[in-house]
């Protein structure tokens, strides 16, 4: 778990003022479980580099974030991580993710990274958190439509996976072993190991009986189950590095 370090309105040309400081090692908060929903692996209409350049040039919301919001939010996030305060961590994570995508919409021309499936996943998580009365899952997104829900512990992760599979079952030709990648031992904990048809999953209790449950088969390509990993390490064998140490570019 790391934080962005020093920032500057006039950054050094050599990039040496761009630092990352690790707050805690990967064992500090090893309860967390991450289930990434890969909504689309297609090339984005607006690349991250182009999008950021246009956002810096045109978004007033970005300037407001830089001056008024981000410095305070970084300190709040540091405290949430150090104290393993999941409620605060989730609130900050979700809020900042949503505001990042609001900045994308505030760009001229507007950038549309999220899609309908992204919004459905947010709605699923928000409704579940509200029904529980305590925050079970946080969410963030990449610069694209792919969701990164973060469960507070393994139990919450199994309940999250059940909900995600209820709404986003795999295509008929796909088994769960190829649909759930990474640490798929979570299938056993969720009572899903060996299940042939997740259509048999009961609807989540927060669904109103009078409202039919809509399924979105095929809207998610696959899920990746993982956990927070270790931070950057110094390689003793520089031949293992993927970047050229002189240019910083891929080899």
Confidence of residue 7 (pLDDT cuts 50, 70, 90): very low
The CATH number for 50's domain is 3.30.70.890
Q: What residues make up the domain containing 149? A: 20-205+215-231
| 126, part of any domain | yes
Q: Between residues 141 and 6, which one has the greater pLDDT?
A: 141
Question: Is residue 236 domain-resident?
Answer: no
Do residues 179 and 195 touch, judged by C-beta distance below 8 A?
Answer: no
The residue behind tokens 């956990």 is 227
Range from 34-48, 53-67, 229-243 carrying the lowest mean pLDDT: 229-243
pLDDT band at 209 (very low <50, low <70, confident <90, very high): low
- Does some domain include residue 76? yes
The model's pTM is 0.84
Mean pLDDT of the chain: 87
Cis peptide before 92 (omega within 30 of 0): no
Q: Give a yes or no: residue 31 inside a domain.
A: yes
Q: Judge contact between 167 and 55, C-beta under 8 A.
A: no
Q: Would 239 be classed as within a structural domain?
A: no
Q: What are phi and psi of 4, to 5 degrees?
A: -70, 140
Place 8 in a pLDDT band, splitting at 50, 70 and 90: very low
Q: Is residue 9 part of a domain?
A: no
Q: What is the mean pLDDT of residues 172-178?
A: 82
210: alpha, beta or left, given left = phi > 0 and alpha = psi -120 to 50? alpha
Residue 138 lies in a domain: yes
Count of domains in the chain?
1
């Amino acid at each position: 778990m790391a934080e962005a370090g020093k920032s500057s309105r006039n950054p050094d040309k050599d990039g040496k003022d761009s630092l990352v400081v690790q707050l805690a090692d990967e064992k500090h908060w090893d309860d967390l479980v991450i289930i990434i929903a890969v909504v689309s692996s297609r090339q984005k209409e607006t690349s991250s580099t182009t999008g950021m350049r246009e956002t810096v040039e045109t978004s007033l919301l970005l300037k407001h974030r830089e001056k008024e919001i981000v410095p305070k939010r970084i300190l709040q996030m540091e405290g949430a991580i150090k104290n393993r305060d999941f409620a605060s961590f989730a609130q900050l994570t979700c809020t900042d993710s949503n505001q990042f995508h609001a900045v994308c919409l505030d760009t001229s021309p507007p950038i549309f990274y999220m899609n309908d499936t992204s919004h459905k996943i947010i709605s699923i998580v928000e409704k579940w958190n509200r029904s529980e009365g305590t925050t079970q899952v946080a969410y963030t997104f990449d610069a694209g439509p792919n969701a990164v829900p973060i469960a507070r512990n393994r139990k919450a992760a199994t309940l999250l996976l059940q909900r995600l599979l209820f709404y986003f079952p795999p295509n008929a030709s796909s088994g769960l072993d190829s649909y759930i990648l990474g640490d798929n031992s979570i299938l056993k904990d969720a009572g899903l190991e060996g299940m042939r048809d997740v259509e048999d999953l009961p609807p989540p209790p927060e669904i109103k009986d009078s409202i039919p449950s809509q399924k979105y088969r095929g809207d998610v390509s696959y899920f990746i189950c993982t956990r927070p990993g270790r931070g950057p390490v110094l390689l003793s064998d520089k031949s293992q590095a993927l970047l050229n140490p002189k240019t910083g570019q891929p080899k």
